[in-house]
Structure 1
Amino acid sequence: MASLPVWHPDSLAARLPFLRRRAVLLAATRAFFTARGYTEVETPYAVTAPGEEVHLSAFATTRVGTDGSRTPLWLHTSPEFAMKRLLVAGAGPIFQLARVWRNGEGSDRHAAEFTMLEWYRPGASMDDLIAETTDFLRAVLPPVVTSQGVRTDLRTVERLTLAEAFNRHVGADLLGTAGDAAALATAAGERLRDGEEWEDLFFRLLLARVEPHLGQARPTFLTHWPAAQAALARRDPADPRVAERFELFVCGMELANAFVELTDAAEQRARFLEDRARRHALYGVNDWPLDEDFLAAMAHGMPPAAGIALGFDRLAMIASGADRVDQVQWLPELG
């Protein structure tokens, strides 16, 4: 039997209990950040450069000017770059509930269009951000939550470095084998696949042997990522082999990704160019120009800050007990 269209009254009725819980969650989220001195901001969704993330694919669009000129634009995959510009401008602690788009994604936990909650606090450390994220979860969720059959108690949390996680669940010295795919494969008891590089094997092991153990009985903050996976995080001053980055897992799901932000414009440019070359080599695309305006903002002087991107639809799944992301979307993807 064919499924009902999403606009059908019976289809909405099935989603409505989850959606009403989402609405309560939305109001509680705004109240939490407003009470802590954050300002809610809104930034453009269509941008000239959506970032250099290697494995994300952006939706393309075009802006037509009043003079008939045509400018290629991209629906952003995160409001991060725009919000960091506001940090440079002196906006102070800010948060945003933004619609974002990531092409080629779709599953019980993924949608091509979804809502991202991002917040940034100047002067915050990783410890500060972990503490605030924990406070946020406890403020907007009940003490015990269940989604996709996983029950998580929020009253205690686990902090685990990636090196500790690989030692515990893979039996490998992650940092000791960094950059050496053959050494990591041997330590993990895995056969290296044709053409598989260290990063590929790292993610294969992370997904297959580490993540299934995270965010189960309690939330897990997976911290201190290898420097090669620093993304937009700064290196740890105490150990430059790792970056001040963490991911949060609740109910077995990756819920958030966070950084103590990189503020060095020259290092950011170098990372952008490296990621850009890798993305083009893997996917054969020649897409948007390098985001020179963002790099200029960083060079002007981005304040020390920590920031986090949290999947709001997944948070709504956890809050409502939903098992699929489309249950917490008012109108799931229209054909």
Structure 2
Amino acid sequence: MKTDGAKGGIEQIAERLPLLRRRSLMVQGLRAFFDARGYLEVETPYAVPVPGEEVHLHVFATEREAPTGERVPLFLHTSPEFAMKRIVAATGLKIFQLARVWRNGEGSALHSPEFTMLEWYRPGAGLEDLMDETELLVRTMLPPVVQRDGYAIPIEEPFERLTVAEAFQRHVGADVLATADDAEALAEQAGVVLRAGEEWEDLFFRLLLERVEPVIGRNRPTFLTHWPASQAALARRCPADPRVALRFELYIGGIELANAFEELSDASEQRARFENDRHRRALLYPERPDWRMDENLLAALPHLPPTSGIALGFDRLVMLATGAPRLSDILWLE
């Protein structure tokens, strides 16, 4: 006998079905897009010994039990990035993946602890090339006008390309590069009071979240490019200006849709960045599990051809296509 809860679950699926059909068609469209452009679809493991190195992402821990009884700690990956770079380093091919990823402790109208990430890597492409391709993909997948939070956002017009420095000058009134690593100077220029224990990176993201993200991508999609070097993650520094990294994020209607890099191939620099991230994570979250360094990735990086790569939130793309207000509206089950 079905309970009211079970019945409610069935009704929710039935109510979502038109949106879920659209989701299914978009999956088919994505695969056709990448197939036409010569990409190879790949599949990488979800349970891995190294889930990622991003400081503030919390992971799901699990383990593999061998027939001998040996237990090996594993984690559900937060991105397939490390594995996909190893494939590009080994093959030199253009690749893509629609992967399930996990980030513990997340949940909101735009977040779920388990979601679908579209990632693709294009050898020989620079940041501008990847922005062009991303713009074409989004234009292919979305209607000509997206309605979001009372804004009608044209998708057919050229997307805005705005550097982080330009965005902070325009919307914060601060020179984010000249004040790099000087929290007091950034706070003074922004006209805010520095909070107790707030460091430059904390203030940078507070201003980004409060003053920049709410106003970009509202009149047209916006690529936010050339991030401060301290926010490079796995991106190359810009040869013309080492104060910035060759990275962009894409915003549409108040939604951060994608994050992209010109990929760093210097294993020594990447190791140093990982070590710094691991140190910060241990200080901020001492209760969280630890894992070994990804030596397989570091060994592969010197063989990585000049490549740009991007991670795009597929569920959020479906939200924009359908007008769904919550990410949960376009999931088959929660």
Regarding TM over 0.5, the answer is: yes
**Aligned Cα RMSD in Å?**
1.4
By how many angstroms is 1:18 displaced? 1.1
The 5-angstrom pairing of residues 251-290 of structure 1 reads 251-284=253-286, 285-290=288-293
Separation of aligned partners in 2, 1:186 and 1:155: 40
Separation of aligned partners in 2, 1:267 and 1:8: 49
- Counterpart pick for 2:194 among 184, 192, 198: 192
Please give the secondary structure, in 2, of the residue aligned with 1:121. strand
Who is 1:34 aligned against?
Answer: 35
Contact 1:4 1:11 (8 Å CA) reproduced: no
Who is 2:300 aligned against?
Answer: 297
Who is 1:166 aligned against?
Answer: 168
By how many angstroms is 1:150 displaced? 3.7
Who is 1:218 aligned against?
Answer: 220
Who is 2:26 aligned against?
Answer: 25
The 5-angstrom pairing of residues 93-108 of structure 1 reads 93-108=94-109
Letter matched to residue 318 of structure 2: A
The 5-angstrom pairing of residues 305-320 of structure 1 reads 305-320=307-322
Please give the secondary structure, in 2, of the residue aligned with 1:258. strand
Structure 1 unmatched runs, 5+: none
Separation of aligned partners in 1, 2:46 and 2:205: 29
Who is 1:248 aligned against?
Answer: 250
By how many angstroms is 1:134 displaced? 0.4
Who is 2:73 aligned against?
Answer: 72
* 139 and 303 in structure 1: CA distance in 2 versus 1, 3 angstrom threshold: same
Please give the secondary structure, in 2, of the residue aligned with 1:111. coil
Separation of aligned partners in 1, 2:57 and 2:7: 27
By how many angstroms is 1:148 displaced? 4.4
Who is 1:322 aligned against?
Answer: 324
Separation of aligned partners in 2, 1:121 and 1:86: 12
* 136 and 198 in structure 1: CA distance in 2 versus 1, 3 angstrom threshold: same
* 6 and 176 in structure 1: CA distance in 2 versus 1, 3 angstrom threshold: farther
Q: TM-score, normalised by structure 1?
A: 0.96
By how many angstroms is 1:70 displaced? 0.3
By how many angstroms is 1:105 displaced? 0.2
Does structure 1 residue 144 correspond to structure 2 residue 149? no
Separation of aligned partners in 2, 1:7 and 1:289: 44
Separation of aligned partners in 2, 1:15 and 1:95: 28
Contact 2:92 2:305 (8 Å CA) reproduced: no
Deviations 1:180-211 (A, max 9, x none): 00000000000000000000000000000000
Deviations 1:144-180 (A, max 9, x none): 1124444311122111000000000000011010000
Contact 2:92 2:123 (8 Å CA) reproduced: no
Contact 1:162 1:224 (8 Å CA) reproduced: yes
* 304 and 76 in structure 1: CA distance in 2 versus 1, 3 angstrom threshold: same
Contact 1:170 1:188 (8 Å CA) reproduced: yes
Contact 1:148 1:322 (8 Å CA) reproduced: no
- Counterpart pick for 1:331 among 324, 330, 333: 333
Stretches of 4+ aligned residues off by more than 6 angstroms? none
Letter matched to residue 98 of structure 2: L
By how many angstroms is 1:5 displaced? 5.0
By how many angstroms is 1:7 displaced? 6.6
Deviations 1:35-61 (A, max 9, x none): 000000000000001111000011000
Separation of aligned partners in 2, 1:5 and 1:186: 55
* 5 and 176 in structure 1: CA distance in 2 versus 1, 3 angstrom threshold: farther
Separation of aligned partners in 2, 1:42 and 1:147: 33
The 5-angstrom pairing of residues 103-118 of structure 1 reads 103-118=104-119
Please give the secondary structure, in 1, of the residue aligned with 2:317. helix
Separation of aligned partners in 2, 1:96 and 1:278: 30
By how many angstroms is 1:321 displaced? 0.9
Contact 1:235 1:242 (8 Å CA) reproduced: yes
Deviations 1:216-269 (A, max 9, x none): 121000000000000000000110000000000012100000000001000000
* 170 and 223 in structure 1: CA distance in 2 versus 1, 3 angstrom threshold: same
Contact 2:260 2:308 (8 Å CA) reproduced: yes
Who is 2:51 aligned against?
Answer: 50
Separation of aligned partners in 2, 1:46 and 1:297: 20
Structure 2 unmatched runs, 5+: none
Please give the secondary structure, in 2, of the residue aligned with 1:81. helix
Please give the secondary structure, in 2, of the residue aligned with 1:213. coil
**Aligned residues between the structures:** 330
